């Protein structure tokens, strides 16, 4: 219950899916959680749930592709909670599913703006606060498709590969400041984004599509948001004090082949 006691943690894309699970599990482990998202109704509902459970938390409307919004929210969160210890860069979108030669510049840029620039901006503006705290942890959500390829959603896969290398670069840059930077690489997790991806790809029976997707993993099923959230808790905690620049793969064996 105290793995993250009194640590101030920002979670981007916190309102639903993996981000929501991260916020809940981190709060249960004693963290004080700043929730960032653009889904205000879902974010406020999560905030109420956390507050009812007795956890210290606050919600900010933040588009991670906007530097002004990111800087304002991170500075306000650090001021509100009295510092910053952990940043979880979870916000992301799947984007369009077309072959590369059919993707428009606008479709490409939107995915990179959220998935890559968003990680850059949040890291950029969190670093001064983490330095003031004497160190901390940044956890970047990449994907199995930051490690291997697949014949679909090229903007998304490119973005997650970028996040993987950004993680290693920042791990080296900020190691002298005792700021650890690691990436998590989920397999398919049952989230609204995955369900929407299946439906937009033509699935008419969602449950059967999820089952078929699960069969791509050696363990025979897709993951749950908590499977990723517990990995985030570990990387945010002092249990991982000697871990930086690492890739934590949580994928049911998908990339073990």
Active site residues: 156
Q: Give the three-class secondary structure for 115.
A: helix
Which spans in the chain are helix H? Answer: 17-28, 40-52, 67-81, 105-112, 118-132, 154-174, 192-200, 206-214, 225-236
Dist CA 148 CA 209 (whole Å): 22
Dist CA 29 CA 17 (whole Å): 19
Q: Which residues pair with 138 in a beta bridge?
A: 87, 181
Q: Which residues pair with 35 in a beta bridge?
A: 11, 59
């Amino acid at each position: 219950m105290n793995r993250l006691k009194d640590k101030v943690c920002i979670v981007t894309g916190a309102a639903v899916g993996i981000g929501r699970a991260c916020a809940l599990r981190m709060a249960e482990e004693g963290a004080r959680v700043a929730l960032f998202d653009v889904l205000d109704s879902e974010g406020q509902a999560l905030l109420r749930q956390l507050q009812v459970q007795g956890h210290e938390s606050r919600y900010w409307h933040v588009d991670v592709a906007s530097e002004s919004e990111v800087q304002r929210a991170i500075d306000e969160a650090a001021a509100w909670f009295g510092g910053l210890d952990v940043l979880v860069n979870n916000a992301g979108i799947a984007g369009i599913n077309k072959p590369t030669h059919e993707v428009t510049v606008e479709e490409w840029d939107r995915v990179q703006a959220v998935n890559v620039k968003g990680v850059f901006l949040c890291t950029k503006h969190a670093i001064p606060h983490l330095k003031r705290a004497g160190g901390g942890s940044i956890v970047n959500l990449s994907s199995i498709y930051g490690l291997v390829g697949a014949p679909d959603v090229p903007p998304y896969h490119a973005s997650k590969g970028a996040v993987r290398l950004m993680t290693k670069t920042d791990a080296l840059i900020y190691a002298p400041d005792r700021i650890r930077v690691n990436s998590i690489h989920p397999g398919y997790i049952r989230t609204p984004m995955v369900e929407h991806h299946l439906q937009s790809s033509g699935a008419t029976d969602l449950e059967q599509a999820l089952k078929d997707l699960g069969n791509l993993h050696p363990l025979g099923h897709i993951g749950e948001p908590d499977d990723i959230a517990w990995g985030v808790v570990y990387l945010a905690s002092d249990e991982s004090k000697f871990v930086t620049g690492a890739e934590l793969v949580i994928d049911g064996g998908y990339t073990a082949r």
